[in-house]
Amino acid sequence: MNYQSELEKILARESEHGKSVLLHSCCAPCSSYVLTYLRQYFKVTVFYFNPNITADEEYYKRVEEQKRLIAELNKENDGYQIQCIEGDYEPKSFLETVKGYESFPEGGERCKLCFRQRLEATALLARKDGFDYFATTLTVSPLKNATVLNELGLALAEEYNVSYLMSDFKKKNGYKQSIELSKKYDLYRQDYCGCAFSKAERELQKQKNAE
């Protein structure tokens, strides 16, 4: 399925109605393009929920960058104003979720469990607070499998009776634009997803590249 094409069909249908979307965001850089894109069509509320970030200092650095970006975008008044909800930061819940999958490689089953944890929390909050849709910025990354993410989102939408906004935000230079926007707003860009396991894998790769 062409998820970006499906998104564009929804945008064409909903663009004049001011519908709301609860957008799970993994970080400010990835959200930059997605926010500038979606705010033209939807009333966007960012849900910053990332218990996978296992280092406290890293978590707080990223969440403050997210809030700073939203404030900067709202100053520009280019579309609907963006709201933000910070979810509970409970890294122990992530570790419990992926228990037994710690040694799995990046992009494997451990990541799928992580995706589900974050998307499920987004779906539940979207239903509770009456959002028209829920979505995630994760599909903007070329390192994340859009098919896996969208299949999870659609399954959760059916399970919790709330609409999921399909996407493949990396398409049409979305990822490239996120890099450009990160430079424009001088955003902190991390080189690993957030969990201790991805950080260790990244450090090992750096060592191999240096040898």
pLDDT in tens, 154-183: 999 999 999 999 999 999 999 999 999 999
Q: Give the model confidence (pLDDT) of 52-75 as tens digits.
A: 999 999 999 999 999 999 999 999
Q: Give the model confidence (pLDDT) of 72-109 as tens digits.
A: 999 998 899 999 999 999 999 999 999 999 999 889 99
CB atoms near residue 160 (< 10 Å): 16
Q: Are strands 83-86 and 133-136 parallel, antiparallel or unpaired?
A: unpaired
Q: Measuring CA to CA, which residue among 19, 20, 10, 72 is closest to residue 47?
A: 20
Distance CA 92, CA 97 (A): 9
Q: Show Cβ contacts of residue 198 under 8 Å, excluding neighbours closer than 6 positions.
A: 106, 192
Distance CA 116, CA 125 (A): 14
Block residue for tokens 């060592």: 207
Distance CA 113, CA 98 (A): 6
- Residue 181 burial (C-beta neighbours within 10 Å; 0-12, 13-18, 19+): buried
**What is the chain's length?**
211
Ramachandran area for residue 14 (φ above 0: left; ψ -120 to 50: alpha; else beta):
alpha
pLDDT computed for residue 202 by the predictor = 79
Q: Show Cβ contacts of residue 173 under 8 Å, excluding neighbours closer than 6 positions.
A: none
Q: Give the model confidence (pLDDT) of 34-48 as tens digits.
A: 999 999 999 999 999
